[in-house]
Amino acid sequence: MDVLVIGNGGREHAICRGLKLSPETGKLYCAPGNPGIGEIAELVPIKVEEIDAIANFAAEKNIGLVVVGPEVPLCLGVADAVRAKGIPVFGPSKDGARLEGSKDFSKAFMMKYGIPTAAYGSFDNREDAIAYVKKEYAAGRGVVVKADGLAAGKGVIVAANEQEALDAVEICFDGAFGSAGARVVIEELLIGEEASILALTDGNTIVPLVSSQDHKRLLDNDMGPNTGGMGAYSPAPVVTKAVMDEVTENVLTPFLKGVQAEGFLYRGIIYAGIMVTAQGSKVLEFNVRFGDPETEAILPRLESSLFDALYKTATGKLAEAELVWTEKPSACIVMASGGYPAGPLSKGHAISGIADAEKNGSIVFHAGTKMEGDTLTNSGGRVLVVANVGETMEAAVAGAYEAVRKISWQDVQYRSDIAKRAFIKR
């Protein structure tokens, strides 16, 4: 069956690779893709926001399954547009995608269905927001300030003190995150270790994938600004069986009840970013799509057919799917352009060493790369994601870094401590 994947990052490269390895996949298309994806799929020059063009292309080419990578087209309603053509889609409808598209909506959903999350207030004016911040600090609590709408991972400010929190409120209402900041969610600061729990759901059944942990900060030792993610590993030891059971019972099951009660057609991924705190696991955010770079760590561990899992999810038959994972752990390292994430990015430099890097069994996923003539260059913030599956976590990390060190371009940056938390004695 022919498949169309939407997106152009490392996540979509990992999805395309998994689909290519699945015996059921016929012709594989990706819109718009990137040069790495172009080696295994036919690239289609349609942007992720062009949802009508995507739906029309899928109908014209008689595509049997559309898999949506990023949140932006989901929030624009691409799943509804494709489904209207009678084509199965992996990705929730526009109403379900609001769980990521609006923090205010997402928090209200969590409250309504009893899903544990940080206490919060939601404000559309600065005076009330400022009063709330002052009240929280007076009570001895810290806060996190979040622009309500999609802000590409940049609209969240974890305040170090009251003044930073007040400044963050001003910045949001001054329009630093565009219309995303017209409403501001202010949350209780949670203390603990983060993990990513991704689950497949077709609205009837929910099946967690193997756990993983992302590294949000730019620099080693979790210093520097927040990014889209600088590396990941799987499994995350913080997600013990007890934590997974608790998240299944307190988060995933009520989530499923919630989407059913609200009547969302939710067939895709639910990604719960959780904080494992002394008071139990709490949801930091819901995402309605695969994580990036978590997917580049998770999918190389899947031994069964990715097509089968995604197709059955898209057609409401997830209960019939059987996912088989290797016990072997994995790690992936993000290689980013100089200047990431704040910019300006140091772009357009020739990338060398990828073929050499893959010789030890590592997989090099492309994100922000571009062909300039015959030369592969860096064209975005996150450029490559280098993944390795090993006998042990130590071996996976060592293998990934051995590969990373073979790759170079001018001003490249990456963290040297990915998966460090996997080695903490618990």
Binding residues for ligand AMP, rule: CB under 6 A, are 118, 144, 146, 156, 158, 187-190, 194, 216, 226, 273, 284-285
If one asks whether residue 234 binds ligand GLY (CB under 6 A), the answer comes out as no
Which part of the chain contacts ligand GLY (CB under 6 A), choosing from 131-139, 258-266, 287-295, 306-314?
287-295
Q: Considering CB distances under 5 to 8 angstroms, the limit depending on partner class, which of ligand GLY, ligand AMP, none binds residue 291?
A: ligand GLY
Nearer to ligand AMP, 190 or 236 (CB): 190
**Burial profile 154-169: b = 16 or more Cβ within 10 angstroms, e = fewer:** bbbbbbeeeebbbebb
Which does residue 309 touch among ligand GLY, ligand AMP, none (CB within 5 to 8 A, set by kind)?
A: none
How many residues would you count in the chain?
Answer: 426
Rounded to a whole number of angstroms, the minimum distance from the CB of residue 208 to ligand GLY is: 17
- The Cβ of residue 279 has, within 10 Å, a number of other Cβ atoms equal to 11
Size of the site for ligand GLY (CB under 6 A): 6
Contact status: 214 vs ligand GLY (CB under 6 A): yes
Q: Which does 136 bind (CB under 5 to 8 A by kind): ligand GLY, ligand AMP, none?
A: none
From CA 334, how far away is CA 332, in angstroms rounded?
7
Helix ranges (DSSP H) in 21-122: 51-60, 71-76, 78-83, 94-101, 103-112
Give whole-number Cα distances, 214 to 2, 135, 391, in Å: 32, 32, 21
Q: If phi over 0 gives left and psi between -120 and 50 gives alpha, with beta otherwise, what is residue 348? A: left
Contact (CB, 8 A) for 289 and 69: yes
By CB under 6 A, residue 292 contacts ligand GLY: yes
| Least distance in angstroms from the C-beta of 136 to ligand GLY | 26
Cα 135–chain centre separation: 33
Q: Taking the CA atoms of 35, 38, 44 and 46 in sequence, report the sign of the dihedral they define.
A: negative
- Single residue of 291, 300, 329, 399 touching ligand GLY by CB under 6 A: 291
Q: Which helix (H) or strand (E) is 371 found in, with range?
A: strand 369-372
Pick the piece of the chain touching ligand GLY (CB under 6 A) from 107-115, 139-147, 286-294, 396-404.
286-294
294 binding ligand GLY? (CB under 6 A): yes
Nearer to ligand AMP (CB atom), residue 194 or residue 292: 194
Distance CA 375, CA 380 (A): 15
Selection from ligand AMP, ligand GLY, none that 287 binds (CB < 5 to 8 A by kind) is: ligand GLY
| Binding residues for ligand GLY (CB under 6 A) | 214, 229, 287, 291-292, 294
